[in-house]
Amino acid sequence: MRTFAQVMTFGLRQIVWDHTISRNKDEEQGAPMSDPETVQATIRELVSANHILFDQGVVDGFGHVSVRHPHNPGRFLLSRSMAPGLVTEKDVLEFDLDGNPVVPNGPAAYLERFIHGEIYRKRQDVMSVVHSHSPSVVPFSVVTGTRLRAICHMCGFLGSDTPVFEIRDFAGEDSDLLINSNRLGAALAQSLGEQPAVLMRGHGSTVVGNSLRQAVFRAVYTEVGARLQSEAMRLGPVTYLTKGEAAATTKTNNTQIDRAWFLWLKAAESRTKEG
């Protein structure tokens, strides 16, 4: 079994390889990156994820994406509070699972960083978390009797149901709907359970992955699937994926994530110009 760091390092080497189409001798021999290099590469990939999610319309000025720290499963990396489309490497902060910044007295943090910490605490398999208000998903969070589920092979990971977190059950009738405490983060993580996604009533969704790229892939295709399901439901009774089809498509798609990632990365890079 590979360690967290090894998994991340492998993924990050892939970026370098695919991107530059050039490898030096050390890399060909699989020489491991040094720890600081791995962290820096993780941060760079997190910046890319921020830009991709903005470019693909999953986040607007709001929403955020984190990644578990490559060397310390008890920490995670997340931008300071700002629009994801504008995030740069120097904006990325390190947090413990309680949502405390490791370096105190830094810039303002996202009010909802507790979403990330509590999911990393509960789900050892999760390496990355995306929280968004993507527009086709929000409607599914506020209606009763209709549940978001797998309507096509690209969305197989959604399975036969996506849980909806009703914050009123934990914060009462007068909350601002935000997951602004560890208590609410833990409640959301409980609602997520072992699923890849949880909807948040009147708010948005949180999607997880066993890698940054998988989380981004799933966040994009949760939005795509919601739009397809909404359209299909208006045409007539819908045939959804079976449980077996959902599992099999998920397994296959997990081998294809980089095909989308590098396309989205190129699109985001050509449209996002950092100042």
What residues act catalytically? Answer: 112
Closer residue to its own copies, CB minimum distance, 28 or 173:
173
| Phi and psi torsions of 67, nearest 5° | -135, 145
Measured at the CA of 188, the angle between CA 133 and CA 80, to 5 degrees, comes to 55
Name the strands in the sheet holding 164-165, side by side, starting at the edge strand that comes first in the sequence.
Answer: 92-96, 75-79, 64-68, 128-132, 204-209, 197-200, 164-165
Nearest distance from residue 93's CB to its own copies, in Å? 16
Cα distances from 61 to residues 55, 93, 94, in angstroms, run 11, 18, 21
Using DSSP's 3-state secondary structure scheme, residue 33 falls into coil
Closer residue to its own copies, CB minimum distance, 174 or 194:
174
Closer residue to its own copies, CB minimum distance, 100 or 146:
146
Nearest distance from residue 239's CB to its own copies, in Å? 5
Nearest distance from residue 114's CB to its own copies, in Å? 14
Residues 5/37, Cβ–Cβ less than 8 Å: no
- Pairing verdict, β 204-209 and 128-132: antiparallel
DSSP state of 101: B
- Pairing verdict, β 64-68 and 128-132: antiparallel
Nearest distance from residue 124's CB to its own copies, in Å? 27
Using DSSP's 3-state secondary structure scheme, residue 225 falls into helix
Closer residue to its own copies, CB minimum distance, 13 or 121:
13
